[in-house]
Amino acid sequence: MAKRKTKFICQDCGYESTRWMGKCPGCQNWNTMTEEFEEKTTASSSRSFVTSARGGVTKPQPITKIERKNEQRLSTNMKELNRVLGGGVVPGSLVLVGGDPGIGKSTLLLQVSSQMARQEHRVLYISGEESVKQTKLRADRLDVADDNLFVLAETDVEYIEKVIEEMNPTLVIIDSIQTVYLDAVTSAPGSVSQVRECTAAFMRLAKTKGIAIFLVGHVTKQGAIAGPRLLEHMVDSVLYFEGERHHTFRILRAVKNRFGSTNEMGIFEMKEEGLTEVLNPSEIFLQERTAGSAGSTVVPSMEGTRTVLVEIQSLISPTSFGNPRRMATGLDHNRISLLMAVLEKRVGMLLQNHDAYVKVAGGVRLDEPAIDLAVTVAIASSFRDVPTKAGDVVIGEVGLTGEVRRVARLEQRVMEAAKLGFKRAIIPKKNIGGWTVPDGIEIIGVNTVNEALEECLGGASSGGSAFEL
């Protein structure tokens, strides 16, 4: 008879311990350790299970003798989703989709299922959170109706495996991985052990049958996918669905992708009839920009292979407290402090008695160094209360000595700015030359932050009392 082993597992990070602890040593969270039972199996039985699941024992072979085969991707009608996945859905892949409750994960995957079904692919949508009738109500609202789309309300993994083997679908949606369970695991559904073992079962099924499987994952209060970190290592791709509940825009990012880039971003808009693609996000992010406002700049940011023009807003105001506030939305807080230190030391701006609030309009998060100069100009513009020119875009990385460093893919950034009607581009001087300047836009090269402020604000780079409000 198999021996039962008791252990305590953190439900947030998967840390295991033989005794209960109030605070998890792995993630430092309180009251997350729960008791679980684990069936202890022998090594021989485990080895035979792996052998039978993979269809026989394989022998090592030289890498030069292995034939390379190009996987035929399954293309959906959503270009944004295809871009994030690296060109389409790879057969036999296991994709994990995470996001806040109510953000639109089920809506997105139901629309993808409908599109794949219309291409004569058999699709199985398994819901562990909704009944078949509830799924039908959502499908009617999204105008989803096709005979190749099958719906099943089930949480037993063993029964799900039998249904998949009988149907042999092309695509399977599991909504969600926290609701399904295996009878062999005595823990409750959603626990670390259940999530790990169920994901392993679906991974074996995807690899042996060549079926693409999408798993919906819940997220914790900190925004990470619930369950052990091993869950993200087991799957082929991890997609995060981001957005604010009070805004209609949704952003799909790939934080892991074995079949494509992790820098891609897909943008959708939530409407009554479902999610629609935003093919030109730059116009959406800039359509509410107020011309002639101090503290506003536009920067072309690279998101994978796509250029997105976003507005950076800054508000600098005097403070009566000893420690001024530094708040950032869509940017790294430490980067704001670094750039403000450069302005104080290299330019002479007295910012130590001012609160600073910096925001990326539209809910986008930027993390590339090419936005440094635009953030610096926005802070200086708000501090001096001098507006930037509406037809300017600012590109460049800022060093600690106040120099403006070169950036990558400058030609693509400037070309996108020219398409949207911008007249000037302030760029690093070292990036000038070696590429074709688009018609209708003027290129201005700068070496230092002082030169950039002189061009953008017209004399705002003079230090000392010239910056007093």
Please state, in angstroms and rounded to a whole number, the distance separating the CA atoms of residues 109 and 127. Answer: 11
329: three-class secondary structure by DSSP:
strand
Residue 424, both tokens: 């000037």
406: three-class secondary structure by DSSP:
coil
Q: Is 101 annotated as a binding residue?
A: yes
Q: Is 103 annotated as a binding residue?
A: yes
Q: Is 5 annotated as a binding residue?
A: no
* DSSP result, 445-468: EESBHHHHHHHHHSSTT--GGGG-
Q: Is 99 annotated as a binding residue?
A: yes
Q: How far is CA 131 from CA 140, 194, 198, 215, in A?
A: 14, 22, 21, 18
253: three-class secondary structure by DSSP:
strand
Please answer whether residues 85 and 254 qualify as being in contact, where contact means their C-beta atoms are separated by less than 8 angstroms: yes
Nearest to 190 by CA among 254, 129, 108: 129
The amino acid present at 462, given as its one-letter code, is S
Q: Is 102 annotated as a binding residue?
A: yes
End-to-end CA distance of the chain: 80
- Residue 176: is the preceding peptide bond cis (ω within 30°)? yes
- Sheet with 392-394, side-by-side order of all strands: 392-394, 424-428, 442-446
Please answer whether residues 263 and 304 qualify as being in contact, where contact means their C-beta atoms are separated by less than 8 angstroms: yes
Q: Is 14 annotated as a binding residue?
A: no
State residue 169 phi and psi, 5-degree precision.
-75, 170
The HSE-up count of residue 144 (CA atoms within 13 Å, CB side) is: 28
Q: How far is CA 373 from CA 178, 399, 404, in A?
A: 44, 10, 7
Q: Is 363 annotated as a binding residue?
A: no
Q: Is 359 annotated as a binding residue?
A: no
Binding residue ranges for ATP: 99-106
Binding residue ranges: 99-106
